[in-house]
Structure 1
Amino acid sequence: MSSDMQVFRLPDLGEGLTEAELVNWLVAVGDEIKVDQPIAEVETAKSMVEVPSPYAGTVAELHGEAGQTLDVGKPLISIARSGAAPAPETPSSAEDAVSTGIVASPEVDAAAEAYRTEEKAGSGNVLIGYGTPGGVAGGRTRPRKTSLAVVDRETEARAEAPVASEPAVAGTRIPGKLSAVISPLVRKMARDHGVSLETIQGSGASGLIMRRDVEAAISTPEAPEAPAGPVSVPVAEGDLDSRTGLAVSARTPVRGVRKAVAANMAKSRTEIPEATVWVDVDATALLEMRAELKKRAPHDTPGLLAFIARFVTAGLKRYPALNTRFEIREDGSQEIVGFDGINLGFAAQTDRGLVVPSVRNAHQLSARELDAEIRRLTSVAREGKATPTELGSGTFTLNNYGVFGVDGSAAIINYPEVAMLGVGRIIDRPWVVNGELAVRKVTELTLAFDHRVCDGETAAGFLRYVADAIENPGGALADM
């Protein structure tokens, strides 16, 4: 391969992931790109991420198509070094310009200047833990140009004549004289809000799409799209299932998050000798305490899950065996790995499947801080933007399946953790209080645990601790 060609291989996206599905290319062959410019969107078993380029130059080849699964370390994109091919000289006169088929465009100059102004506000995302250091100032400088040029269409139409390459503004091609030039910031804003740039008429010079144009498109209501989900493969006519004799209606590939969940759950069931304990809990006092706090601070009151999370972290400090990992070493020996801290995972249902983001160092956070972090992680997880670290670093999982309207569940432990606490819905039930029958707000707590790391006494002690804290939240919080 020519020394002027740089091959960028799919990088290690973190957490031991070995493959990723190519969702979408953000560049095309012939594009001029710069260092740290996002070149592709890929979906791993953990999240959707943008992959930035470590090289600047001209895109020579894209190694893969949308929907294809690529292995880490395999070629992703080939980039010709900037300046590898001799660039046509800038015409010194109008006559020279006509002879070469290139004309200067003051409108595109204006577009470039507007682009520079627009980009001062920021740039696109860079893959977490990857890319060049130093931020914008460190490796995103743009070569200064006194003018830009576009290909004369008459010259382009000549079959035998060589076609002059199109110039670029910060890696965004200009396919014609008056095409939109879009900054990474504007492109990111459009992607985040599901706005198609092809449908926007730019208000800037030369049709440049500005931030205000995207904001206007965001504020304009559109027909709701169907939620993202597994895409079924077309089924051939006459496809019959050999076991049932029924016609096959759909075949859905198992990949991405669903593939990871399936593998993780199967491994959990295969390797972990799981046991389960449960208890009904009177949550009336907790609900009353939260209602009282909400009266005082309507917009700054933690949710119920945040309070329960606070009780869980306190319980894990008392029963640390449930905040461990059971490991089998290469030599066959076994050990239980304990942690100096708690990363509290919580199950979040998304359009892409069930994921478990984790609140790092949750034991150091108050209920209010836990609430803020749970909300933030839920949001990024549902947008598919949670990082591999956020999705793969938990030490214990809290699962609020009550939001689905169920009371209990025989939960599967989130491998390689050793325990999971499930919380059912809170409903009115008859309950004996001080010898009198009353209607109380009751929920069911279910703890699934790895019997290799502890016995039932430890599991029951932890579960009872959390239950007592829910029934007497004021006293529990005072002691934490």
Structure 2
Amino acid sequence: MSRQVFMLPDLGEGLTNAELVNWLVNVGDEIRVDQPVAEVETAKSLVEVPSPYAGTVATLHGSAGDVIDVGKPLISVDGAGAPAADAYRTEERAGAKPPAVELAGPGRTDSPADGSADAGSGNVLIGYGTPGGLGSARRTRRPKAGGPPRGAGAPAPAAAASGPDRAPLVVSPLVRKLARDGGLRLEQIAGSGPDGLVRRRDVEAALAAGAPASAPVSAPGPGPAAAAGGTDARTGLGIAARTPLRGVRKAVAEAMSRSRTEIPEATVWVDVDATALVELRRDLKERDPENTPGLLAFIARFVLAGLARFPELNSRIEDGEIVRFDGVNLGFAAQTDRGLLVPSIRGADRLNARGLDAEIRRLTAVARDGKASPADLTSGTFTLNNYGVFGVDGSAAIINYPEAAILGVGRIIDRPWVAHGQLAVRKVAELVLVFDHRICDGGTAGGFLRYVADAIENPAAVLADL
């Protein structure tokens, strides 16, 4: 019986490893070409990895939480391999690096368009591809009712389903974080959802019941960096924990370090009277509660109009040249369980406030679900950061490398303000623009910031021209 070993493919964007989040199959399962076998988390997103082989799962190389390098074994499959993988297996035997893989996006299908039994998807594994595969892919997200749970070992009896070796059946990153912060291990929590799916209320119930917290699981990796304990030589304090810098936090750290190292940034700021904008949105909401954009969408629309007048800020420096773009991909900061992510609205300059609001909501949900693609998170040309949601007034932000500028918006609060020669209480916010001083000077940055501020203070006049 032949055995094929599927190596973790190149996930793109220069990523060299991924954290194994969940197995979607068990040892002994029959799988088809293109069937997702594992969920992995990279520095960019949470993705499903489909198998290029059909057959019986022989070995699962790793457990939930393990970090697997690109080109290392992910899963071994016994039985007839997929013909479409022949080219890859030849390269593998020759010791070549596995070719790059394109993980299909929303357009991916799980069965042949013509319904034939011998057609592969053709768009899941580009490079050692699946055209002419062994049939349609059947997505196996959860085990069948009464069947064995997903795990990293052989199927266990039902009585052992709650043992420490069972991979937890959980989908939501929020549930994982809640359990991790509470010191609980998900595999020790009985799920109330279908087939034992662990839900948020299950974790909250376990925390309320005072479930014993197991010892923290050390992250993979050799040496003291993976374990707590000991005394810090510099401070004399005990070390409570060591957390490897990886995944999205590592990617953020590298990008921020590069930004501060390579970009000579400058900062300008202004207080703005947002009373008229708040009142305008309130009036619109009273007339059409379901379709009124949020304040951030209106500000985004003003930012895009400002970039049309000051296009220098919608550019980047590359190979000694200033590259200016025909159009704007507007990035916005979104806080998620995996850290701060910056999805971008492609072609944002072509959208009105309602369109921007819809995209902000959609991309925020995608990012928080861990489903944002690398392209979603790396295609921005200018970033808007609403840190007012954290209850702060201002921030000297770091430019989202390799962009040229970032605009921050603080909270809108009641403040004393002189309006029409009289002291009054107005809705005031602070705008902070951080820009690359190599690309433009203070006149351009100040002109852009003043334009956005004037638009917020007189929104009806500006919106009439958009």
Q: TM bucket by the smaller chain?
A: 0.7 to 0.9
How far apart in 2 are the matches of 1:171 and 1:288?
A: 49
Q: Residue 11 of structure 1 contacts residue 73 of structure 1 at CA under 8 Å; is this kept in 2?
A: yes
Match status 1:318 vs 2:309: yes
Aligned residue type for 2:36? P
**Partner residue of 2:295?**
304
Match status 1:263 vs 2:254: yes
Instruction: Tell me how far 1:221 sits from its aligned partner.
Output: 5.2
Q: Residue 32 of structure 1 contacts residue 172 of structure 1 at CA under 8 Å; is this kept in 2?
A: no
How far apart in 2 are the matches of 1:28 and 1:219?
A: 22
Alignment of structure 1 residues 156-171 onto 2, 5 Å: none
Aligned residue type for 1:294? K
How far apart in 1 are the matches of 2:77 and 2:38?
A: 14
**Partner residue of 2:282?**
291
Q: Residue 110 of structure 2 contacts residue 139 of structure 2 at CA under 8 Å; is this kept in 1?
A: no
Match status 1:358 vs 2:344: yes
SS at match of 1:454: coil
**Partner residue of 2:171?**
191
Alignment of structure 1 residues 291-440 onto 2, 5 Å: 291-328=282-319, 334-440=320-426
The C-alpha deviation readout for 1:100-147, integer Å capped at 9, x for no partner, is: xxxxxxxxxxxxxxxxxxxxxxxxxx984279965423498779xxxx
Instruction: Tell me how far 1:326 sits from its aligned partner.
Output: 1.0
Q: Residue 46 of structure 1 contacts residue 388 of structure 1 at CA under 8 Å; is this kept in 2?
A: yes
How far apart in 2 are the matches of 1:39 and 1:395?
A: 35
The C-alpha deviation readout for 1:151-196, integer Å capped at 9, x for no partner, is: xxxxxxxxxxxxxxxxxx96879999x94499xxxxxx97359699
2:430 to 444, 447, 451: 444
Instruction: Tell me how far 1:250 sits from its aligned partner.
Output: 1.4
Instruction: Tell me how far 1:287 sits from its aligned partner.
Output: 0.3
Match status 1:246 vs 2:237: yes
Instruction: Tell me how far 1:199 sits from its aligned partner.
Output: 5.9
The C-alpha deviation readout for 1:41-67, integer Å capped at 9, x for no partner, is: 111111111111122112233333332
Instruction: Tell me how far 1:82 sits from its aligned partner.
Output: 3.3
Identity level (%) = 65
SS at match of 1:6: strand
Change (3 A) 1:7 1:338: farther
Q: Residue 282 of structure 1 contacts residue 442 of structure 1 at CA under 8 Å; is this kept in 2?
A: yes
Aligned residue type for 1:326? I
**Partner residue of 2:50?**
52
Q: Residue 26 of structure 1 contacts residue 38 of structure 1 at CA under 8 Å; is this kept in 2?
A: yes
Instruction: Tell me how far 1:379 sits from its aligned partner.
Output: 1.2
How far apart in 1 are the matches of 2:394 and 2:407?
A: 11
**TM-score normalized with structure 2 length:** 0.74
Change (3 A) 1:471 1:173: closer
**Partner residue of 1:205?**
none
Larger Rg: 1
Q: Residue 409 of structure 2 contacts residue 429 of structure 2 at CA under 8 Å; is this kept in 1?
A: yes
**Partner residue of 2:11?**
13
SS at match of 2:112: helix
Structure 1, unpaired ranges of 5+:
85-125, 144-168, 183-188, 202-212, 329-333
Match status 1:214 vs 2:194: yes
1:30 to 15, 28, 39: 28
SS at match of 1:46: coil
**Partner residue of 2:179?**
none
**Partner residue of 1:81?**
79
SS at match of 1:384: coil
SS at match of 1:458: helix
Change (3 A) 1:410 1:366: same
2:442 to 456, 460, 463: 456
Instruction: Tell me how far 1:36 sits from its aligned partner.
Output: 1.8
How far apart in 2 are the matches of 1:460 and 1:390?
A: 30
Instruction: Tell me how far 1:363 sits from its aligned partner.
Output: 0.7
Q: Comparing 21-30 with 434-443, which one deviates more in the overlay?
A: 21-30
**TM-score normalized with structure 1 length:** 0.72
Q: Comparing 50-59 with 356-365, which one deviates more in the overlay?
A: 50-59
SS at match of 2:464: helix
How far apart in 1 are the matches of 2:348 and 2:306?
A: 12
SS at match of 1:474: helix
The C-alpha deviation readout for 1:381-436, integer Å capped at 9, x for no partner, is: 11211111111111111000011111110100011111100000111111111211
How far apart in 2 are the matches of 1:455 and 1:397?
A: 19
Instruction: Tell me how far 1:327 sits from its aligned partner.
Output: 1.4
How far apart in 1 are the matches of 2:241 and 2:199?
A: 37
Q: Residue 191 of structure 2 contacts residue 202 of structure 2 at CA under 8 Å; is this kept in 1?
A: no
- Root-mean-square deviation (CA, aligned residues, Å) is 3.7
